[in-house]
Structure 1
């Protein structure tokens, strides 16, 4: 097939171009909303060879999980241009996929939902373990733009150019030919760059398997329009890129059974894989839908070891899901002391070799093969961390959850010390784990410093403890509405608080407003929030019963062995008990 002579996508319509202009305006508005050091959407302008400015856009990851998604597009990895002449229209230069999620990561990636709401064919492509690379033709197809997921002119995109030239050269093609082809089709090519010489990830890629795997071709439009894998393979063959292997199924059930078989075997065609990316359709076959299947055995456990190693090397707290990670850590620490030179470039090199050494050591110690040691269980300890501002209802919810499930509960408002109050709070929280599997750290935790202090403290003491954030999200709600609603609650509760009452603090609105403006959004990709595993999003404007039911349902779904679904009457009784609670002046943690 000579793809150069065929049109894969139609040109953008006038309506689509107007939608892009509106999209950029909305994204700009989001990027202007800053909460202390965090922006909901970040933009960065890059220079392309002195010829053109290219703007990249990156949103906080959790926003994609919101229903409805507040962003004007769910594209993750998007690059645009804004022509200098006002008469010209802005364009999408390169576009990745819409953000898609792992099985059971969100309600719409549960197998039950997928089987009921999607249509085939189901294209299951191997999820190659590399870094995302985007390629597009710009400047009327004269130049080839190569980027990483969110940036250009960085080592990943530069290595992408190197591999582009290798593949194109072998196929007798040039950068200019690929650029012209992509520009003609208003398209972006989506690759996985797998090159252990440049950067090791988790799965091993020997020299014979390295390079750019063409995974998809997307139309440069606001709505996702991505080619079927059969067409992507033809383009890969013509331009010399590595194919991404694809398996086709007519039903979600058949695809599910195939994925489970690979999970059980821990191998596909003789090699361990990260998992699969699945393409199908929703809304009566009119809309593309994607999700991923990432295997915990062995991929996610090996990924955990890599993260634990990096945090130990940086003298930071670490966590684990698999008990075998404790064996790994016990083996790793002496290795770091004895052979520090082996870990100098561990961020990108030595990951695979270190893991192999441990598995060989462990197999010799107890005779079990790697396949036999991957079913270890996780810790049952859970820290519930509210993230809120004054008057959102965090103490009411904490008291109700404690009554329903017997959780330990420490309140920062009970701590009267001004000096080292955060340390005293953390110590009280840790002490409660001596008698409770689940502890609620009832504090605003609205800044990254407070959250990092708390999560670091629990992970240093209990590396296996799960951390769940009860997140009263302040995004997409005006600060004025939050202040009005929460101030009314503070007034209505009267003196039922240790300190924050209208009588004791006449300027309580000013204090509350300061908290609202200093609220930093959760960002699980950040260093400060990376130890949080699960987020339960709550509404600061909703009533206490709605938020309590939301939290109860989420906890029972996430941890069914620890949280059993209570009756409606039990939920209401627990909430009334929380409303009736009145702290005493002497109820103080010293």
Structure 2
């Protein structure tokens, strides 16, 4: 018996149906802004994945049917539609949009402000295929082969089973609960043996970090972080650090302190995600960690400069246009990286396959800290 008890949410079926019908209309009217793909699942169900052009989230927030980033739907036998997987609404960094300017946040949002660490991996959705089976998806895709070690959704499914086994539960236990509550679990897949991003996740830190639970509704209704933490413990997932503030001023102070140290609760993180209310609805925004963004700039520039020969050897190419470096350390990194490709080519042998990314960055930081540049 699952100990996590959450309220049942009465879905407005007419509203859901209207939103999905509108999505089909928008797809026909502006196919460059919206596309869909059907997936035939193991039990014969057909689920449709919806993918919106990134610019739509900023430019058409008030006119687009939904801002969900990660959405899977299906048509029922009576012709009506149902949401099967529901991600968050696209959310933005502070200062990135009008709604995420600090004056707007102060004036238009209400607490409590739930601030959660932003783990550095790829997003994974976990929902019910039936009362006995779960389905795991990436942002827009479902793996037909659940044993595919190169597919995000398949690796996510493998980790779901591992986490459940760690607390003596099976897939059916989770599936029945998800099916009954009509919810989607949102997690971050962090596993350096599968794919490196910017920050390290090795040994016991590998796996799925649960950071959200959404009702499968057209508008965003996401559960509190305390319920998310309880659910993570119940099903064996990694918990995601969080803290709760009463005011937006406290959130701003927290963000400023994180920028000074580059860490959250003594850990390097991508940043923080804030949940609160705006105009009576669930609202989210993020505070990006500048140190992380600098590390990401190293990675993007390295990828743009590396070239591999047919024999597998690696070299640094001259950029076709001047590289744009936001951070003052980046030019020094580029100079250092060029030398390391010559004397340590093995560090870069699989860089573009997301292997060695963290090691290269850490080696540069050692050089920098030792004053060798």
Instruction: Give the TM-score normalised by structure 2.
Output: 0.90
Does structure 1 residue 205 correspond to structure 2 residue 204?
no
Partners in 2 of 1:70 and 1:313 — Cα distance? Answer: 42
Residue 100 (structure 1) aligns with: 91
Which secondary structure state, in structure 1, belongs to the residue aligned with residue 264 of structure 2? coil
Residue 235 (structure 2) aligns with: 239
Give the superposition deviation at 1:334: 2.8
Give the superposition deviation at 1:118: 0.6
Residue 308 (structure 1) aligns with: 301
> In the TM superposition, what whole-angstrom CA distance separates every residue of 1:363-397 from its partner, at most 9, and x where no partner exists?
33458xxxxxxxxxxxxxxxxxxxxxxxxxxxxxx
Does structure 1 residue 170 correspond to structure 2 residue 161?
no
Does structure 1 residue 65 correspond to structure 2 residue 58?
yes
Give the superposition deviation at 1:48: 1.7
Partners in 2 of 1:44 and 1:313 — Cα distance? Answer: 33
Does structure 1 residue 272 correspond to structure 2 residue 268?
yes
Which of 134, 137, 145 is residue 147 of structure 1 equivalent to?
Answer: 137
Does structure 1 residue 31 correspond to structure 2 residue 31?
no
Residue 3 (structure 2) aligns with: 3
Give the superposition deviation at 1:290: 0.4
Residue 539 (structure 1) aligns with: none
Which of 109, 119, 124 is residue 118 of structure 1 equivalent to?
Answer: 109
Does structure 1 residue 355 correspond to structure 2 residue 361?
yes
Checking the alignment, whether the CA contact within 8 Å between 1:168 and 1:240 is kept in structure 2 is yes
Checking the alignment, whether the CA contact within 8 Å between 2:184 and 2:213 is kept in structure 1 is yes
Does structure 1 residue 187 correspond to structure 2 residue 183?
yes
Residue 256 (structure 1) aligns with: 252
Partners in 2 of 1:9 and 1:325 — Cα distance? Answer: 50
Residue 281 (structure 2) aligns with: 287
Which secondary structure state, in structure 2, belongs to the residue aligned with residue 243 of structure 1? coil
> In the TM superposition, what whole-angstrom CA distance separates every residue of 1:513-551 from its partner, at most 9, and x where no partner exists?
xxxxxxxxxxxxxxxxxxxxxxxxxxxxxxxxxxxxxxx
Partners in 1 of 2:166 and 2:136 — Cα distance? Answer: 19
Partners in 2 of 1:40 and 1:88 — Cα distance? Answer: 25
Checking the alignment, whether the CA contact within 8 Å between 2:2 and 2:173 is kept in structure 1 is no
Checking the alignment, whether the CA contact within 8 Å between 1:137 and 1:180 is kept in structure 2 is yes
Which of 344, 348, 368 is residue 343 of structure 1 equivalent to?
Answer: 348
Give the superposition deviation at 1:207: 1.5
Instruction: State the number of aligned residues.
Output: 354
Checking the alignment, whether the CA contact within 8 Å between 1:9 and 1:219 is kept in structure 2 is no
Give the superposition deviation at 1:21: 2.0
| CA RMSD, 1 decimal | 1.9
Partners in 2 of 1:234 and 1:89 — Cα distance? Answer: 34
Partners in 2 of 1:48 and 1:345 — Cα distance? Answer: 33
Checking the alignment, whether the CA contact within 8 Å between 2:117 and 2:264 is kept in structure 1 is no
Q: Which has the higher contact order (CA 8 A, sep 6+)?
A: 2
Checking the alignment, whether the CA contact within 8 Å between 1:63 and 1:70 is kept in structure 2 is no
Larger radius of gyration: 1
Any gaps of 5 or more consecutive residues in structure 1? 368-590
Checking the alignment, whether the CA contact within 8 Å between 1:194 and 1:205 is kept in structure 2 is yes
Which secondary structure state, in structure 2, belongs to the residue aligned with residue 323 of structure 1? coil
Checking the alignment, whether the CA contact within 8 Å between 2:213 and 2:223 is kept in structure 1 is yes
Partners in 2 of 1:224 and 1:104 — Cα distance? Answer: 22
Give the superposition deviation at 1:319: 2.6
Which secondary structure state, in structure 2, belongs to the residue aligned with residue 218 of structure 1? strand
> In the TM superposition, what whole-angstrom CA distance separates every residue of 1:93-144 from its partner, at most 9, and x where no partner exists?
10000000001111111111101111100000001111100000123x2321
Which secondary structure state, in structure 1, belongs to the residue aligned with residue 176 of structure 2? helix
Instruction: Give the TM-score normalised by structure 1.
Output: 0.58
Partners in 2 of 1:332 and 1:50 — Cα distance? Answer: 50
Checking the alignment, whether the CA contact within 8 Å between 2:51 and 2:140 is kept in structure 1 is yes
Residue 35 (structure 2) aligns with: 42
> In the TM superposition, what whole-angstrom CA distance separates every residue of 1:435-487 from its partner, at most 9, and x where no partner exists?
xxxxxxxxxxxxxxxxxxxxxxxxxxxxxxxxxxxxxxxxxxxxxxxxxxxxx
More helix by share: 1
Partners in 2 of 1:11 and 1:364 — Cα distance? Answer: 59
Instruction: Summarize the alignment of residues 530-545 of structure 1 with structure 2, pairs less than 5 Å apart.
Output: none
Which of 324, 330, 333 is residue 338 of structure 2 equivalent to?
Answer: 333
Checking the alignment, whether the CA contact within 8 Å between 1:73 and 1:223 is kept in structure 2 is yes
Partners in 2 of 1:237 and 1:183 — Cα distance? Answer: 19
Give the superposition deviation at 1:25: 2.0
Residue 15 (structure 2) aligns with: 19
Checking the alignment, whether the CA contact within 8 Å between 1:212 and 1:242 is kept in structure 2 is yes
More strand by share: 2
Checking the alignment, whether the CA contact within 8 Å between 1:135 and 1:146 is kept in structure 2 is yes
